Amino acid sequence: MSNTAQVIVNIPTRSLDKPFSYIIPAHLPGIGVGSRVLVPFSNRKVEGFIIGLALENTEGLKPILDVLDDYPWFDSNMLETAKWLSEYYLCSLGEAMRLFIPGQSGIKTQKAYQAPDGVDVEQTAALLSNKPEEYRTALTYIYEHGPVTLTDFAKLAINPDTMIKFFLQHKLIVNADTVSKRGKANETTLINLAVSREAAAQIEQNLPKTKGAQRRLLSALLHTKDELSATQLRDLSITQDTVKKLAEQGLITTRRVPLFRNSYAGGCLRSPEVNLTPEQSHALSLIVPAINTGLHSSFLIHGVTGSGKTLVYIKAVAEARRLKRQAIVLVPEIALTSQIVARFKAAFGEDVVVMHSKLAVGERHDAWRRLQAGHAGIVIGARSALFAPVSHLGLIIIDEEHEFTYKQEETPRYHAREVALARARLAGAVVVLGSATPAVETYYKALQGEYTLIPMNKRVDNTPMPAVTVVDMRQELAQGRRSVISQALQDMLTETLAKSEQAIILLNRRGYSTFVLCRECGHVLKCRHCDISLVYHAPANVLRCHYCQERHTVPDTCPECSSRYIRYFGAGTQKVEEALAASFPAARIVRMDQDTTGGKMAHDKILSAFAAGTYDILLGTQMVAKGHDIPNVTAVGIISADTALNLPDFRAAEKTFSLLTQAAGRAGRGTKTGRVVMQTYNPEHYAITAGADHNYLTFYQNEISFRHQLNYPPYANLVKITVHAADEVTVHRNANQLAAELTQALAMADTSIIGPFPASVNKIKDVFRVNILIKTQVLSKVTHQLAILSIACRRDIIVDIDPVNVL
């Protein structure tokens, strides 16, 4: 019997969803639950996370090789959150735990090979007799030089993989991987006296003149109360050699401490104190006491754009910090939210850690260590910041909580909002969700009392919401105007430019060309059973419903009005740019979309140039609608307000409404009143009318009744199961088989199975994909059954709980 640890190995495979036992060697100190360790696994060395300790029979067990940190990386809150995540989202515990590791792994493995013990050289020669010369050369090299890395191997052979395979097969080489710790914090040396000051003074006096450097060092130590740093040594021109000599004589001690890299070092200004608006005070009067209780609770701030939500976040965070608790602030996308980051930096300075995707693993590691050590108390970042190692969590803020970027679209397919709520529940922390257009599910829960609803209806400076003109594009066509720019938009832009003000033009391109629209009456072809737009499939020239799979031929004329102007919808940013340039030859136009912006930072650059007044018109897709606050922007044009409306997605109306509101919110943020022109083929749709009126409640009431009728979330949960295979026949066979299995296993009340139906992009990189949707009101029972069937462990299946993308 010996002390053992239950270890989850950090290998991205779903089939290893159980802990393995390892012996804890006596010479490794500080190993405990939550420690990251290095363990032998088959014939490799891998990173592992300790999730439990025991006393057991150690027969056949191997010992832990090393410990990666000098304290457990996971505290109980992180561990419990990971467990919750793996159970809710049906991923392995390892997959959930590695979310908490910067760069997903704490070690770097370099593949290498060496000679096995006692090789028989004669036998080897025989084996290689009919192989090319390079086989013999390579093997001789390995036998003479010891471990050879994969990189070096590539220099020895034209086809290293084949060669390695052959050598391994015939046991001519064995694995000898080297493993190193990643993102090790940079360290610096601090120096202190090891003898009394009197003794040191005495020695310094007696040192001969030739030992000037040693004298300078002792003298410096005698004249400081603190330890001496590396920088001070440099200033005194004292070398490491001198330090070493004095240390050998036992006169000084040295110690290594982590030197935190700080990629965001820079001046920070405290923000001036402002008087809170009545709505801000009210919000804080609810949130601040909740933070003080030390118990979990959650809030939804439903505040129009410009109502001052950010200041509420800042004050709430200040309260958590006053109580020495830490805060996580989530933003949809760090590159598009530099303003909120700047405001937090201004208020809290070095207490803020910014998690940016551009950070190197080492920097990320340091940032997390600063939080872990309590040297910083606030982390701001995109969804991954949720996994920061804060051990005194008091508050989580999710700004723009409705944004779909909070959903991770790769395994584990978690939603940051749900994980935040789980982590906060486990930590006794407060969650504040904020949005001008909350997700329908979120608002529903707030109305149910699950979150405290805090409305903020007024803009801080009392500027009115912009006036919105809805343009019916069918009328435009009837009047013989075929341009993508309506008369109203043209007029608004003319006036804006004449006043030297700026305009933003949004082209909502998502879902272009997939649906069929009548340009005369605005009719969009929809499925009779599902009330969801039919999707056009080019190769087969058919329309298909992605929910029930019904197929239709493409009509030549509109079934509503018999017009022949029925067509696949499509107009790219480039086309709009040309039209704008033709109408406004003197205007300085800048385009921002996936094509023009290579990296994420490029968005930032375009936005700052636009904010600085370098351009008159900013044209782009979704991203031009988000997060920025430019006072001189007084006009917003929306080229086609209803493109998202026609996506075959039950959230189409929600996406449309929120985008329209966000876009309209960009107009008139300064002292000037803003104007918006929304072009649409669907002027009666509630997403458009409510969007034009800035009326979330009207939108919500219409939308929730639609959700209720068809039993979509929040009235049911969805689970999307995607089956993939390299050929079409197999994928359909497997999906049908699975659907049959599921029908049997999930034969329970309030649960239905939809599909299989081909995914909207049904072939990616030659892999065919078919979806099955489960709609249920008893999600935990369904996930339980799915776990029993081990569906999530299958390599050809992706399970997505609460999918955001149902297509």
Is 658 a residue that touches ligand ADP (CB under 6 A)? no
| Helix 309-322 with 278-293: angle, nearest 10 deg | 30
* One-letter amino acid of 648: P
CB of 618 to ligand ADP, least distance (A): 19
Indicate which of ligand ADP, Zn ion, none lies near residue 306 (CB less than 5 to 8 Å, by partner kind). ligand ADP
Report the residue number, 276 or 361, with the smaller CB distance to ligand ADP: 276
Cβ atoms of 807 and 764 within 8 Å: the answer is no
d(CA 718, CA 779): 8
Among 214, 310, 597, 640, binds ligand ADP (CB under 6 A): 310
CB of 788 to ligand ADP, least distance (A): 46
Is 346 a residue that touches ligand ADP (CB under 6 A)? no
d(CA 383, CA 671): 34
d(CA 681, CA 391): 52
d(CA 770, CA 779): 22
Pick the stretch among 43-51, 134-142, 551-559, 570-578 that binds Zn ion (CB under 5 A). Answer: 551-559
Q: Is 685 exposed, middle or buried (0-12, 13-18, 19+ CB in 10 A)?
A: buried
Instruction: Return the structure tokens found at 651.
Output: 């959230």
Pick the stretch among 304-312, 419-427, 560-568, 674-682 that binds ligand ADP (CB under 6 A). Answer: 304-312
Q: Provide the pairing of β-strand 378-381 with 352-355.
A: parallel
Is 563 a residue that touches Zn ion (CB under 5 A)? yes
3-state helix, strand, coil in the chain (%, to 5): 40, 25, 40
CB of 767 to Zn ion, least distance (A): 25
Shortest CA distance to 399 belongs to which of 473, 301, 507?
301
Indicate which of Zn ion, ligand ADP, none lies near residue 308 (CB less than 5 to 8 Å, by partner kind). ligand ADP
User: How far lies 252's CA from each of 238, 241, 242, 248, in Å?
Assistant: 14, 13, 11, 8
d(CA 543, CA 523): 15
d(CA 25, CA 37): 12
Among 518, 535, 635, 647, binds Zn ion (CB under 5 A): 518
Among 170, 529, 564, 605, binds Zn ion (CB under 5 A): 529
Indicate which of ligand ADP, Zn ion, none lies near residue 487 (CB less than 5 to 8 Å, by partner kind). none
Pick the stretch among 271-279, 389-397, 480-488, 761-769 that binds ligand ADP (CB under 6 A). Answer: 271-279
* DSSP string across 134-170: HHHHHHHHHHHH--EEHHHHHHH-SSHHHHHHHHHHT
Cβ within 8 Å of residue 642, ≥6 positions away:
656, 680, 681, 682, 685, 687, 688
CB of 509 to ligand ADP, least distance (A): 25
Is 771 a residue that touches ligand ADP (CB under 6 A)? no
Indicate which of ligand ADP, Zn ion, none lies near residue 119 (CB less than 5 to 8 Å, by partner kind). none
Among 201, 230, 460, 587, binds ligand ADP (CB under 6 A): 460
Pick the stretch among 471-479, 515-523, 598-606, 793-801 that binds Zn ion (CB under 5 A). Answer: 515-523
Among 154, 199, 257, 274, binds ligand ADP (CB under 6 A): 274
Among 307, 573, 760, 783, binds ligand ADP (CB under 6 A): 307
CB of 40 to Zn ion, least distance (A): 54
How many H-runs (helices) and E-runs (strands) does the chain carry? 25, 34
Report the residue number, 310 or 689, with the smaller CB distance to ligand ADP: 310
Pick the stretch among 53-61, 326-334, 340-348, 511-519 that binds Zn ion (CB under 5 A). Answer: 511-519
Pick the stretch among 174-182, 308-316, 523-531, 769-777 that binds ligand ADP (CB under 6 A). Answer: 308-316
Instruction: Return the structure tokens found at 682.
Output: 């669907």
Q: Half-sphere exposure (CA, 13 Å, Cβ side) for 320?
A: 33
262: number of Cβ within 10 Å: 14
Pick the stretch among 55-63, 131-139, 394-402, 512-520 that binds Zn ion (CB under 5 A). Answer: 512-520
d(CA 384, CA 7): 24
CB of 700 to ligand ADP, least distance (A): 19
Is 561 a residue that touches Zn ion (CB under 5 A)? yes
Among 303, 691, 758, 803, binds ligand ADP (CB under 6 A): 303
447: number of Cβ within 10 Å: 13
Indicate which of Zn ion, ligand ADP, none lies near residue 271 (CB less than 5 to 8 Å, by partner kind). none
User: CA torsion angle for 725, 729, 732, 736 (degrees, to 10)?
Assistant: -120
Report the SS3 class of residue 125: helix
Report the residue number, 129 or 275, with the smaller CB distance to ligand ADP: 275
Binding to ligand ADP by CB under 6 A, coded x per residue (else -) over 624-643, reads -----x--------------
Instruction: Return the structure tokens found at 738.
Output: 């699975």
Is 276 a residue that touches ligand ADP (CB under 6 A)? yes
Shortest CA distance to 8 belongs to which of 90, 105, 103?
105
Indicate which of Zn ion, ligand ADP, none lies near residue 720 (CB less than 5 to 8 Å, by partner kind). none
Is 280 a residue that touches ligand ADP (CB under 6 A)? yes
Report the residue number, 369 or 417, with the smaller CB distance to ligand ADP: 417
Is 411 a residue that touches ligand ADP (CB under 6 A)? no
Indicate which of Zn ion, ligand ADP, none lies near residue 548 (CB less than 5 to 8 Å, by partner kind). Zn ion
**What count of residues does the chain have?**
807
CB of 505 to ligand ADP, least distance (A): 21
Site size for ligand ADP (CB under 6 A): 15
Among 261, 309, 407, 591, binds ligand ADP (CB under 6 A): 309
Q: Is 201 exposed, middle or buried (0-12, 13-18, 19+ CB in 10 A)?
A: middle
Residues that bind ligand ADP (CB under 6 A): 274-277, 280, 303, 305-311, 460, 629
Residues that bind Zn ion (CB under 5 A): 518, 520-521, 523, 527, 529-530, 545, 547-548, 558, 560-561, 563
